[in-house]
Structure 1
Amino acid sequence: MKSVIFSFLLILALPLSMNGNDFKGIKRITANESQNESNSWINFVKLFELSEIPEKSLTQIACDSKYWLWINEKLVVFEGQLKRGPTPNDTYYDEVDIASYLKLGKNKIAILVWYFGKDGFSHKSSGQAGLVFKNDVLHINSDNTWLSRLNKAFEYTSRDYPNYRLSESNVRFDARKESFDWILLEDNLRGFGRAKVLGDAESSPWNKLVKRPIPLWKNSGLKEYKNKINFPFVSKGDTLILTLPYNAQITPYFKIRSDAGKVIDIRTDNYRIGNTLSVRAEYVTSSGLQEYESLGWMNGHQVRYYFPEGVEIMDVKYRETGYDTEFTGSFTCNDAFFNRLWDKALRTLYVTMRDTYMDCPDRERAQWWGDLVNESGEAFYALSPSAASLTQKGMLELINWQRSDGTIYSPVPGMYTSELPGQMLASIGYYGFWNYYMNTGDKETVEKVYNGVKKYLSVWETDEKGILVHREGDWYWGDWGTNIDKQGIFNAFYYLALKGFKNMSELLGYNGEVKKTQEKMDAFKKAFNAQLWKNGEYRSETYTGETDDRTQALAVVAGLADEAKFPEILQKLKTQKFASPYLEKYVLEALFIMGYEEYGLQRMKERYSEMINDPARTTLYELWNIGSGSVNHAWSGGGLTILSQYVCGVYPVEAAWKTIRIRPQMGSLTYAATENTTVNGKFSVEINKSNGKYRIHTLLPQESNAIVMIPVSYKKINLNNHLIWNGKEKRNQWSEYLGIDNGYHTFKIKSGNWNFVAE
């Protein structure tokens, strides 16, 4: 465990704003025939001999846009390179140790580069296809001694094409024109010529090369589909529908025997979302026995292969790839509905992680920051620590793309340049940047983004009444749905942004900013309640629709609403249900904060019922019902966080999980348990209410503490079979009694295995 945590901290320590490598004298190369056309594929080959094998051989590789690497016919990297870029101008590079793939004598490096050649909602094209390769151990660098050629078997498919948000094109391969024999050691490399040198590695338009801050993809290898097919058989011209075990990022494979010139079409059940198209693949057969894997990833629950009549199908498989993190978290309770919700939220989270966090893996693949705030919060309860690096990458990108006027916008990287004010305030705030710090303890990243956060907050002004000056940004958006009090929402998110900034300032020792921000928060809270609290509800002055549940909830979550208002807010949340799955997370959170956990669980069931009870899908929809939205949308998984953080009551109150609060809010549930591996080690919490007894069993990682909170209604409390409370504190060597906090007895314990029994 210590090695896992140490490796994670090393990843966090990598400064995104620095190279981490010297590319002086290294060249950028391409094929002589390359015209930088979109959807171009280029082969690169380097032949060399070795008289000894190094123990380690770190290699730096960059391209625009993706690459596949083979050494001596063995696959080393499946889809390397991150989409551009760390800033609007710069490019990422990968670092790979290739030593284990080398051999004595003749060696061959083969690299296939896919140049997207167009912008998207997650990629900024440099406008120039090419490759950079650097290996100081072998003294092999990209230059004109490399061999290269355009791969003319890769083409555009027939119409229709993916929607404009995607930088990827459909992938078509015409096997009559070329095979993959060029990666073989003994291939004669027909058609290859010397590579063309474009310029220095770090010259325009690629500019600075920045080390990849997240792991290379997890790779399952080729796997069988769920439904078993008796191979071989001859197609009658039908579509073969194959089922995946869950919604996954996959590349499809097949092995066939065919005449030449037949077109095979491959797509998933997620290919069409309303009228919006995702990616698909085509393959044009050569003659005889052949096998092929389409390299552009797609996602869904089913893969649909159309094989023309007469094609003999020998085998079909798929490869799952995705972000390299482990499913170390879990949640279970005595209600199967909530178990399914947690599991579907986890699957939704994972299928929306790759180069960036994304809203959906089919329609957009875009790093919308409102979605990312929800996603990153879930990851800390569900995934291993490596997942945090994707949040860190997103934070640094958001600030590195900041405009000179101080505004920030997402999705970045990419071509979309519109600011959504509500989402941007959420991103830099208490549930965004600050939540990342609380879960990781990564002070260095907070330092890097701090000035950008301060600059963005300066864009916002308050009026003579003390609340926000009306400001619409580029896209005046608050949420999907109806009855959206946008100004109410923005004001609440602004207060959360101030709260996060104050905490950052305190962490970094900027005491003047702490004092100034606290004064601003105090004045704002007073003005917010004076101006927006009217007739038992929060409502901005210009809003005329029905009472907005979002504004009521965000006022509670932000800390703007005092406890006296809770009963009236509860009544509004019982009748008003307008929030989309994006902001419903905050509505549910507000109910638990106010102490209305029983209704919180009831509302969660009501709102999520259709998607949780859908037997055909393992992921959560974009909207409450299946319609024009995606069926695997990042922002819908907030229930996962609620179940672990509030129902089981587990939350870090000291950065990096050094101190954990355990305050379960079970409602009518009688059993619940959650666990995960944090940067500080593994925790687990199990709560059981039965036979008049209330049991909490917890396992705490080394060098950690916990604040365990037990309702004062329990009069006798034992810890590991030792009486610690019986109407008054029983002093002991295992726990420290901290008093009563909001109706709870509070006890401090250290790392270890603990059993509380209250009755």
Structure 2
Amino acid sequence: MSNWQAQWIWGEGEESPRNAWRCFRKSFEVPHGEGISNPTASLRITADSRYVLTVNGTQVGRGPVRSWPFELAYDTYEIGHLLKPGEMNTVAVLVMHFGVSTFYYVRGRGGLLAEVNDSEGQVLAATDATWLTSEHEGHHPRASRASCQHGFAEYIDASLWDSSWMQRNYNPVNWLQAVVLGPVGMAPWTVVKPRDIPLLTEEIITPVRVESLAKIKTFQVTATLDIRNGWIDGSEVHANRIQFLGYAASSLVSSKAGKATIGFFQDRECLQALSVNGEWIEEHRIYGSAPERYVDVELQAGENLLLIDVSSAIHTGKLQIGLYAEEDLVVSFESPAHYRELAESAWLRIGPFDAVELIDHQRVRALEREHPAYHSLHDNVRSIEDLSAYKDWIQPVNPKYVSEADVFALSVWRKENIRYAVPPQLQNAIIPNAEGANVPVFEGYDTEVLFDLGKEYSGYLAFEVDANEGDILDWYGFEYMSGEYRQDMFGLDHTLRYVCKAGRQRYETPIRRGFRYVSMTVRGAKRPIKLYNVTMIQSNYPVAEVGQFTCSDELLNDIWEISRHTTKVCMEDTFVDCPAFEQVFWVGDSRNEALVSNYVYGVEDIIKRCLRLVPGSKHQTPLFADQVPSGWSSVIPNWTFFWAIACAEYYDQTADEAFATEMYEHIRFTLQHYLMNINEQGLFAITGWNLLDWSPIDQPNDGIVTHQNMFLVHTLRVGARMALISGDQQGVARFEDAAVQLETAINHHLWNKEALAYIDCIHADGRRSSVLSMQTQVVASLTGVAKGERKEQIDSYLVNPPAHFVQIGSPFMSFFYYEALAKLGKVDHVLADIRHNYGMMIRNGATTCWEQYPNFFENRANPNMLTRSHCHAWSSAPAYFLGREVLGVRSLAPGWTEVEVAPVPSGVSWARGSVPHPAGGRIDVSWTVNESSKTMELSVSYPASVSVQVRIPEGYTGNVTELKLQLLE
């Protein structure tokens, strides 16, 4: 860090402003070297929270990669080809500062660090007080919070900001000098270090078609309230759950008496009850099921007091509300009259009367429901005047916590929805040619155009439009639809409101989103708009599709392809669980994702990066967090165990002993703390999120969970193995001994000899679970805890699952089931399960793998909702097992120096494909079987440096053709 000349800079005002977009510029001269037309120069840059970099008007990159603030990564770009020697050159940077902690960002403060150096290391430009800065005046900082996992939705008024601000010849009138914060090494960024993975891709994806055209009517008035940050002071610094008591109040001002419909769109948060003019709405009058709930009310002329009990245990803590009134009514939200002089927004905060931060998965506790103010306010407030008795508890809500437009609510709810056949000319919006699409407008209605990308992607929406100033384009992406059913993405507001300037304009959002379908709704337009070049800029970790698979079973081919694509769009700067709802590096998920990636893409830096990020969470918990870097301090013990297992599997993949030793120190640290939770029975008992599968297995958050104990046994043995690699003989003995003792306790206390199966748990009160699940039996077999006759019994359940056992409910759990079956040599059962469960996805139009199987939702009100997330990389198991078992390619030694090729046909008559080799190159396999003659023709090519054992499957005879390929020195 010592060679930086740049200093951290920001602008005047708050250290960590909420949802702030700030622009920076620096113009500098590049010396005109003799005979040099393209100088050599590099630019190093990082920012808090995210940046978009341009040089002389050309966009160069985005970043930084997600990092802990105390170990912030910076990026380096070669920019010499963009510079003009002998002229003034301009670096322009948009910095987006979240101002709140998310599931992939820990709140720091606003800041930019950048430095341009020539080939000799001389500084051409470095962030200091000479840089100019301005708030992005077209950005609406009051856009609603997207979710607890993400930052914010997006609201841009193009008429308020000159989009050419990053060009060389732009004149930055009214821009101010940047404020110097301090040198490299200042808090909270005490360490800055080079990015450890390549830059991500940017690939233009064009939608395959305009799916539909409709004219619609929706709410006249909407609002979004950030209850969490607006009611609970200081809650921006973390993303932990909060439990609290409180109310929100506003006036519904109506031009005359009449009927109205109020809609709410948040799921299980911030709506306990509501009253209008003192009348509490009884539950039977609220229709719809969460997250959509509606109530019809009678409004009087003038002010109507709306009082909402927003008490909740919250993560996001967002209240989304929409109002539709009879057409001759004019309604609005306004601050109650007695508070209007004080209020800058239409809303009042009442309370909180009681609040507590819930660390990890603490139980929701009984708050002080008998708090005198909370209790009496519910019973006694009948009018706006009655609020005066509670003035000590009332504050006007800061406007920054109120969004006066809820684009999500406007996009999902329709009073009227009239569909039209899509005219061919409208398809020009997605055809990359010079012709634009004429988007019609309808008097008294909004116009919705829906685009289908063909499959889900993750990246940055872009479009061109010719419109009048003030025309509104509301964009809303979602993952799934079937016929007339559209699965709206409640719990995620990744909308974009774009207010047009006059004329032709292009916009490219700097916010990553994931979706398959995206709607554009035109509001307020007086004439048709012209739409061009709607695209998605797909961005992911750079990979070549080295791994391949195809076979005689077309269903398996389709399943392999959706598994491959799912893995790819879930590879960002780390593995992420999904490209839409969360974009979060879940530690446990990534273990399985890495194994799939090994067989499909064969890249290693992203895996190493993921593994190294995890120990940074020890400042939150010595047990290590389940998602990192995150403001949510949460522990799923199994996820930490899977991380340790993944460290050993990375060694198996690469034979990197130095990395194994580095990770062992962290594995030893956390396992020592896990062993502190062994109880007097010798079992692992903990309060935490004791998760393995979404199915209703008995896995309480407080007690002894069997599958968790079994995975700890396996992890202790992994710890012993990593200790051996690292030369820690004492660690080998300690962890081996701990594994034996825990395994013995499990078999003594958690086996049900009458049921001949392992029970799911022992509850904190000592009650033994009566639940028997496939999940627990799978883990018993996979980890080797079950031995002898018990293992034979358990393995019989894997082959023929008993109907009275809880069945597997997620493809994530299926990964472990397939591992256990493969160890038993039951590949035909693996393929049968893949065909059944993943075939169901294909039959329902899936282009990516689902998070859950539909049985998880069998009690949900909406039978069309097959899964929550339609693109989840923890579900990509087939791409791994088809390569490993059907092609038969398996490593036998660390670094794949020894490899086995032993195909298992399992009803497939031919197969061919490739598996990446970590040392370079790939292993190609092609085979055909004749079942009548029981013969196989098998062809294999591989790097000459690899020792390969080729085996014809038992029961077959045949010929083997081998080709050895030399690697470049």
Instruction: Calculate the TM-score normalised by the size of structure 1.
Output: 0.85
**Match in the other structure for 1:622:** 851
Partner of 1:254: 463
Q: Distance in 2 between matches of 1:750 and 1:707?
A: 13
Q: Offset at 1:567?
A: 5.0
- Change in Cα spacing, 1:602 to 1:567, as seen in structure 2 (3 Å) is farther
Encode CA deviations 1:211-265: one digit per residue, 9 max, x unaligned: 1112211011474654571333143242111111321013222222222112111
Correspondence 1:75 to 2:291: no
1:544 is aligned to 2:769: yes
Matched, 1:399 2:608: no
- Identical columns (%): 22
Greater mean alpha carbon deviation, residues 124-133 or residues 295-304 = 124-133
Larger Rg: 2
Deviations 1:472-525 (A, max 9, x none): 243233321113467221122112212322222222233443344444445554
- 1:631 to 1:619, Cα distance in 2 relative to 1, 3 A: same
Paired with 2:810 and 2:783, the residues of 1 have a C-alpha distance of 19
- C-alpha separation in 2, matches of 1:250 and 1:235: 28
For 2:937, the equivalent position in structure 1 comes to: 695
Match of 1:459 among 661, 673, 678: 673
Letter in 2 for 1:258: A
Match of residue 138 from structure 2: 153
2:433 is aligned with 1:233: no
Count of aligned positions:
694
Match of 2:694 in 1: 480
CA contact (8 A) 1:612 1:620 kept: no
Counterpart CA distance in 2 for 1:688 and 1:171 is 54
Deviates more, 1:452-461 or 1:126-135: 126-135
The SS at the match of 2:593 is helix
Summarize the Cα distance change of 1:667–1:523 in structure 2 as closer, same or farther, 3 Å threshold.
farther
1:635 pairs with one of 868, 871, 874: 874
CA contact (8 A) 1:532 1:541 kept: yes
Q: Measure, in 2, the Cα distance between the counterparts of 1:506 and 1:700.
A: 31
Following the alignment from structure 1 to structure 2, what is the Cα–Cα distance between the partners of residues 222 and 48? 36
Distance 1:558 1:707, change over 3 A: farther
Structure 1 residue aligned with 2:23: 43
1:390 corresponds to 2:606: yes
2:662 to 448, 451, 454: 448
The whole-number CA distance in structure 2 between the counterparts of 1:47 and 1:260 is: 31
- For residues 232-311 of structure 1, the aligned pairs below 5 Å read 232-236=437-441, 237-270=446-479, 275-308=490-523, 309=525, 310-311=527-528
Displacement of 1:122 in angstroms is 0.8
Q: Which of these residues, 94, 105, 109, is aligned with residue 123 of structure 1?
A: 105
Aligned to 1:602: 832
State the distance in 1 between where 2:601 and 2:512 align. Answer: 22
Contact 1:32–1:149 at 8 Å: present in 2 too? no
Report if aligned partners of 1:550, 1:583 keep a CA contact under 8 Å in 2: yes
Structure 2, unpaired ranges of 5+? 211-425, 429-435, 481-486, 763-767, 855-864
State the 1:590 CA deviation.
Answer: 1.1
* Deviation at residue 282 of structure 1 after TM alignment: 1.1
Kept in 2, the 8 Å contact 1:213–1:389? The answer is yes
* SS of the residue 2:202 aligns to: strand
Contact 1:214–1:390, Cα closer than 8 Å, also in 2: yes
Does the aligned pair in 1 maintain the 2:925–2:940 contact within 8 Å?
yes
- TM-score, normalised to structure 2's length? 0.68
Q: 1:674 to 1:499 in 2, by over 3 A?
A: farther
What is the distance in 2 between the residues matched to 1:553 and 1:467? Answer: 23
Distance in 2, matches of 1:680 and 1:94, equals 27
Aligned partner of residue 155 in structure 1, secondary structure: coil
Alignment partner, residue 219 of structure 1:
202
Match of 2:578 in 1: 360
**CA gap 1:141/1:366 in 2 versus in 1, 3 angstroms:** same
Instruction: Pick which of 368-377 and 474-483 moved more.
Output: 474-483
Aligned partner (choices 563, 577, 587) of residue 369 of structure 1: 587
1:348 paired residue number: 566
List aligned pairs for 1:183-222, cutoff 5 A: 183-221=166-204
* CA distance in structure 1 between the aligned counterparts of 2:205 and 2:826, rounded to whole angstroms: 48
Aligned to 2:465, what secondary structure does the other structure show?
strand
Q: Deviations over 1:253-293 (max 9, x none)?
A: 22222221121111212497663123111111111222212
Distance 1:467 1:688, change over 3 A: farther
Residue 34 of structure 1 deviates from its aligned partner by 6.2
- Correspondence list, 1:103-142, <5 A: 103-106=84-87, 107-135=89-117, 136-142=121-127
* Whole-Å separation in 2 of the counterparts to 1:210 and 1:683: 36
2: CA distance between counterparts of 1:278 and 1:362? 10
**Shift in CA distance, 752/132, structure 1 to aligned 2, threshold 3 Å:** closer
- The answer as to 2:924 corresponding to 1:684 is yes
TM-fit CA distance, 1:604: 2.5
Match of 1:333 among 526, 548, 551: 551
Partner SS for 1:154: coil
Q: 1:32 aligns with which of 8, 12, 32?
A: 12
Query: Secondary structure of 2:582's match?
Result: coil
CA gap 1:567/1:205 in 2 versus in 1, 3 angstroms: closer
1:317 is the counterpart of 2:527: no
CA contact (8 A) 2:39 2:85 kept: no
Give the 3 Å change call, closer, same or farther, for CA 70–407 of structure 1 in structure 2: same
Partners of 1:122 and 1:413 within 8 A in 2: yes
Q: What RMSD over aligned residues (CA atoms) do the two structures have, in Å?
A: 2.7
Q: Give the whole-Å Cα distance in 2 for the aligned partners of 1:401 and 1:658.
A: 34
**Aligned partners of 1:416 and 1:531: how far apart in 2?**
34
**Amino acid in the other structure paired with 2:706:** G
In 2: Cα distance, 1:202 partner to 1:463 partner: 37
Q: Deviations over 1:655-677 (max 9, x none)?
A: 22221122323322222333133
AA aligned opposite 1:368: W
Contact 1:420 1:475 in 2 (8 A): yes
Residues 667 and 389 of structure 1: CA distance in aligned 2, closer, same or farther (over 3 Å): same
| 1:611 alignment partner AA | M
Displacement of 1:419 after TM fit? 1.1
Indicate the residue corresponding to 2:312 in structure 1.
none
Give yes or no for the alignment of 1:613 onto 2:826: no
Counterpart Cα distance in 1 of 2:760 and 2:844: 38
